[in-house]
Chains A and B, each alone.
Chain A
Amino acid sequence: MELTVNGETRQLTQPLSVAQLVAELGMAERRIALELNGEILPRSEFGQTLLAGGDTLEIVQAIGGG
C-alpha cells in the first residue's frame, strides 16, 4: 500500500491508523496539524482513522517566520 506523506511516497506493509503512522514518524508528542486528502483531521480522530492506499497526508508544524 502506497501513501504520500509531505510529498514523499511511503510503502505500508500492514494496515495502520493515522495515530500509528504519526508515532512511527516520531511525531506523537509533537505539536503538529495534519491534513488527510486535503481535509484537516483532528488529533482526536487519529486513532480511529485507518490509512488507505493512495492517501495523501500533509503534516505541519509552527516554525520561525515573519
Chain B
Amino acid sequence: MIQAADDPLLIAGRSYQSRLIIGSGKYRDFEQNRAALEASGAEILTVAIRRVNLGQQSGEPSLLDVISPERYTILPNTAGCYNAEDAVRTCKMARELLNGHRLVKLEVLGDRKTLFPNVTETLKAARTLVADGFDVMVYTSDDPLVAKELEEIGCVSVMPLGAPIGSGLGIRNPYNIRMILENATTPIIVDAGVGTASDASIAMELGCAGVLMNTAIAEARHPVLMASAMNKAVAAGREAFLAGRMPRRLYASASSPAAGTFFPPL
C-alpha cells in the first residue's frame, strides 16, 4: 500500500512528510500560532520580513523565539512587495536574518484590492533571485503559461492561487490548475484561496504537491481545530489522488448484484 511515509514532498533537496504549509499571520498571539502549527502537522511556516519596532522592549519575545527555525523550515515571504526590486531586497534581508537560508517565497503583488500577482515583476524577480542562488517558491496566477515560464527560470516550486489571498473562495478554476499540473516538472502548490478543509482536499485530489494557507486557519472560529482539520484534509486528498478516483457516470451503477434476488427482477 502506498503510504504517506513513502510519499514525501520534495522541495529544493529536502523532504517533508507533510504537504501542508501554513502562514504565521493573523493569529491572536504566538502561542495560538504555535499550537495551530503543531496541530497542522506542517513542517514549513511562512513569515514576513518587517522593520523592527525601535521602541520595542529587548526582552519581548519574537516569533522565531517561539517557533524554532531549528525544528521548522522557515519560509520568508516577500508579501507586501509590489515590485521586483523590493522583493529581491526582502529576500536578501531574509537570507541574512536566517544565516544564509536560501529558501524563499516570492510574492510580488499587483494591487491591494485583489492581491493578484504582478506577473511581469514576479518573473523579473524570479530571474534575479535564481541567478543569486535562492531556492524560489513562487506565488503566481493560475495561468499555465506563466507557471511554465517560472519553472523554466528555475523556481523550485510554482504556487498558483486557488482564489484571491484571504478570500476563502476555494479552488475557483480547477481546470487551469489541471493544465498547470499536466506540464509540471516541479511541485505545484496551491497558495491562497482555501477556505475550509474540503478546498484543501480538492487541491490535493487534483494532483497538487501541497497546499499553502494562512487565513483559512487563523480566521477560523477555532484556529487550532481548523489546523487539525487541514492536516487531515491535505493527507486525505493526497491519498485519494494516489488511490485514483472512480470515473464519473451520468447514471447509477448498482453495488449489489442484480442476479439472485428471491423476487422477480424489474
B residues less than 8 Å from A63 (CB atoms)? 24, 47-50, 62-63
- Name A64's contact: one of B27, B52, B54, B89 (CB within 8 Å): B27
Q: Measured between C-beta atoms, what is the minimum distance from A47 to chain B in Å? A: 16
Interface centre among B47, B63, B96, by most chain A C-beta atoms within 10 angstroms, is B96
Interface residues on B, range: 35 or more
Q: Please, how many residues of chain A have a CB less than 8 angstroms from a CB on the other chain? A: 28
Contact B52–A6 (Cβ < 8 Å):
yes
Contact B47–A33 (Cβ < 8 Å):
no
B residues less than 8 Å from A27 (CB atoms)? 52, 58
What CA separation (Å) do A42 and B98 show in the bound complex?
11
Contact B77–A65 (Cβ < 8 Å):
yes
Tally of contacts, chain A with chain B, CB under 8 A: 106
- Name B52's contact: one of A29, A30, A38, A42 (CB within 8 Å): A30
Contact B46–A25 (Cβ < 8 Å):
no
What CA separation (Å) do A51 and B62 show in the bound complex?
27
Type the 1/0 row for A41-61, where 1 means its CB is closer than 8 Å to any CB of B: 011000000000000001111
B23 at the interface (CB under 8 A from A): yes
Q: Measured between C-beta atoms, what is the minimum distance from A6 to chain B in Å? A: 4
What CA separation (Å) do A29 and B215 show in the bound complex?
31
Contact A7–B51 (Cβ < 8 Å):
yes
Contact B33–A64 (Cβ < 8 Å):
yes
Q: Measured between C-beta atoms, what is the minimum distance from A22 to chain B in Å? A: 10
- Name A66's contact: one of B57, B74, B77 (CB within 8 Å): B77
What CA separation (Å) do A15 and B74 show in the bound complex?
37
What CA separation (Å) do A5 and B64 show in the bound complex?
23
Q: Measured between C-beta atoms, what is the minimum distance from B226 to chain A in Å? A: 15
What CA separation (Å) do A63 and B214 show in the bound complex?
14
Contact A60–B58 (Cβ < 8 Å):
no
Contact B214–A66 (Cβ < 8 Å):
yes
B229 at the interface (CB under 8 A from A): no
Contact A25–B97 (Cβ < 8 Å):
no
Type the 1/0 row for A1-39, where 1 means its CB is closer than 8 Å to any CB of B: 000011110000000000000000111111111110010
13 contacts between A and B (CB under 8 A): A8-B54, A26-B56, A27-B52, A30-B58, A32-B97, A33-B96, A60-B97, A61-B51, A62-B47, A62-B64, A65-B47, A66-B165, A66-B213
Give chain A's interface residues, CB within 8 Å of chain B: 5-8, 25-35, 38, 40, 42-43, 58-66
The 8 lowest CB-CB distance pairs between A and B, nearest first, are A65-B48, A26-B58, A66-B23, A66-B214, A33-B96, A33-B97, A64-B24, A62-B47
